[in-house]
Amino acid sequence: MNNKTNITVLIPLLNEAESIQELNDWIVKVMQSNHFSYEIYYLDDGSTDDSWKIIQDLSKTNSNVKGIRFRRNYGKSQALHAGFEKAKGAVVITMDADLQDSPDEIPALYQKIINEQFDLVSGWKKKRYDSKIRKNIPSKLFNWAARKTSGVQLNDFNCGLKAYKNEVVKNIDVHGEMHRYIPVLAKNAGFHHIGEQVVQHQARKYGVSKFGMSRFINGFLDLITLWFISKFGKRPMHFFGALGLLMFFIGFLSAFSIGVMKLYKLYHHLPTILVTNNPLFYIALTTMLIGIQFFLAGFLGELILRSKSNTKRYEIAEEIIKS
């Protein structure tokens, strides 16, 4: 892919008006000192402060600064998805707007993609300045589970500072809360050369962290979803159909054994009860019904998979683009 633009920097943000100007000046300084051709996309995810006004002012003084503003808060994944669609740089860098990610890391990340031919390089904030109880310990537990489940050996899935080949971001679909698992999505899309680099983590200078327990719980739920999709996303019948057949077979054997036992007792004139008075009969019936439902779920999954269409999961209110 021949891109005149070396680097696209994507910065999703929500109410970060205090840090945008300082971050922009820092990025521009790094780009100019390294003679990179670049574009900076600020992805305003429904901010209610002056973030968008600041982005507009920056775009007026620097044609490399562009912006997308959503009508409401859709989430970081949707913001990145919109940015990935617009990115023209040979290397795409994502970073947070709170100044905890250092733009000084950009040249090294760029070189790893260009010179070492990585598809994706993820930052690793080895030394953190976050609260251990609120963020560090949950993050370590989360990263351990992500490594075990996905097979991608990264120490910091949550790090917002990442570098990608342009080809990678054009071939992955980021939605929901899946921004944490972009390396896994890339692996599932066939991009296996994934690396990691230790990056500097800085203490938050402005505002407050938006990390909460709900994000931690949602992260694990998304991890389960991603594991299932990576295993059975293209063949749901293999999971639901097999489980349905197993459940139906167990129920059928139970019902058959009830019938055989009933006939045996009748033949030998032994005391017996009505089949409908046998609790095992209802267990067998329920198991067969559940088996049929699982099988139908797999069948419907196959139909949906073959008929689904790509739809945008966000609505853009304003956009700044300059050639």
Q: Using CA atoms in the order 209, 213, 215, 217, what is the torsion angle rounded to 10 degrees?
A: 160
Rg of the chain's alpha carbons, rounded to an integer? 26
DSSP-derived secondary structure for 237-266:
HHHHHHHHHHHHHHHHHHHHHHHHHHHHHH
DSSP alpha helix (H) spans, 121-278:
137-150, 166-169, 182-188, 213-232, 236-267
pLDDT at residue 246, rounded to an integer: 92
Placement of tokens 């139908």 in the chain: 296
Q: How many residues does the chain have?
A: 323
Collapsed DSSP state (helix, strand, coil) of residue 11: strand
- The answer to whether residue 120 scores a pLDDT higher than 80 is yes
Phi and psi based region of residue 309 (left: phi greater than 0; alpha: psi -120 to 50; beta: remaining): beta
* Lowest mean per-residue pLDDT among 96-100, 108-112, 157-161: 157-161
CATH topology of domain 7-232: Spore Coat Polysaccharide Biosynthesis Protein SpsA; Chain A (3.90.550)
Q: What local confidence, expressed as pLDDT, does residue 252 receive?
A: 92
Of 203 and 308, which is predicted with more confidence?
203
Q: Average the pLDDT over 9-34 and give the result.
A: 96
Which of helix, strand or coil describes residue 233?
coil
Q: What is the pLDDT of residue 2?
A: 47
Cβ atoms of 66 and 59 closer than 8 Å: yes
Quote the pLDDT of residue 213.
56
Rounded Cα–Cα distance for residues 101 and 103 (Å): 7
**Strand-strand pairing, 316-320 and 65-70:** antiparallel
Q: What is the pLDDT of residue 272?
A: 84
Compute the average pLDDT of residues 274-300: 89
> Kindly report the CA angle at 180 between 192 and 83, in degrees rounded to 5?
85
- CA dist 140 and 117 (Å) reads 28
Q: Which two three-digit tokens encode residue 224? A: 């389960």
Which is higher by pLDDT, 182 or 130? 182
pLDDT at 153: 87
Structural contact between residues 208 and 130, judged by C-beta atoms closer than 8 angstroms: no
> Between 108 and 241, where is the model more confident?
108
CA separation for the pair 181, 146 (Å, rounded): 8
**Residue 58 confidence (pLDDT):** 96
The most confident of 32-41, 167-176, 190-199, 204-213, by mean pLDDT: 32-41
In the chain, domain spans: 7-232, 236-307
Query: pLDDT band for position 135 (50/70/90)?
Result: low
Query: pLDDT tens digits for 303-314?
Result: 876 675 555 556
Non-local (6+) Cβ contacts of 309 within 8 A are none
8 A C-beta contact, residue 67 and residue 55: yes
Q: What is the mean pLDDT of residues 225-234?
A: 71
Q: How far is the C-alpha of 142 from the C-alpha of 195, rounded, in Å?
A: 19
- Pick from 138, 229, 135: which is nearest to 181 by CA? 229
